[in-house]
Amino acid sequence: MEKREIYTSIRKTIMIMVSYVLIAVAVSALVFTQTDLLILKVFGVLIDVIIAGAFMFTFRKMLNRKPLFVFDENGVTDYSKPEDIITLPWNQLVSVGLKAANSNDLMLNIVGYKTADQLENITPEIRQQLAANDNKAYYALEVSGLWVARKDIRETFEWMKETVPALNGEVQFVDFEDPLAKLGKKF
């Protein structure tokens, strides 16, 4: 099986960081040129400090070239939260779908389950889920369009539509259909 990896889009993270800089400059310009109130100036500096923190978080995310998701012979592995790495085997996937995250970003949703014997740490919530779902704990892995290029999400969905049925024929695939695209078409 071909191994597939999804990474954070450098172009998207640069665009986010440029937005942070523009917002910080606008806030600074407003509070230091349009008001003499000390409280507003302190508030403006506080906002700039928060934006600088967000900038650093995004910059570190851009420099981290580890994959967010890996698709290989073991299944789908979500590395987006290093403290909570989840692998869903191919035979335990339930559905794969594309949906709109906002007006121009797609999100890839992968739903699957693990059984009690596959879980290392069973919290009370997971224990309750296992009891309610025939000894299955369901997981929804999401590839966010905020950090990943739309093209990569679309290509991964198409790759999964071609590859996964041979490994698990019961997986349901739901493609995104833009409801606004139908408005100009005749029925």
Map residue 7 onto helix, strand or coil.
coil
SS3 of 163-182: the string is HHHHHCCCCEEECCCCHHHH
> Cα separation of 115 and 103, whole Å?
36
Sheet of strand 86-88: strand arrangement: 4-6, 69-72, 75-78, 86-88
pLDDT of residue 51: 97
Q: What is the CA radius of gyration of the chain?
A: 21
107 contacts: CB under 8 Å, gap ≥ 6? 98, 99, 100, 101, 142, 143, 144, 145, 153
Total residues belonging to the chain: 187
Average pLDDT, the chain: 89
Q: Confidence class of residue 8 from pLDDT cuts 50, 70 and 90?
A: very high
Nearest 5 degrees, angle CA 151-CA 152-CA 156?
115
Strands of 11-84 (E only): list them: 69-72, 75-78
**What's the pLDDT tens digit per position in 19-51?**
999 999 999 999 989 888 999 999 999 999 999
Q: Is the distance from CB of 66 to CB of 81 less than 8 angstroms? A: no
| Of 101, 68, 94, nearest in space to 176 by CA | 101
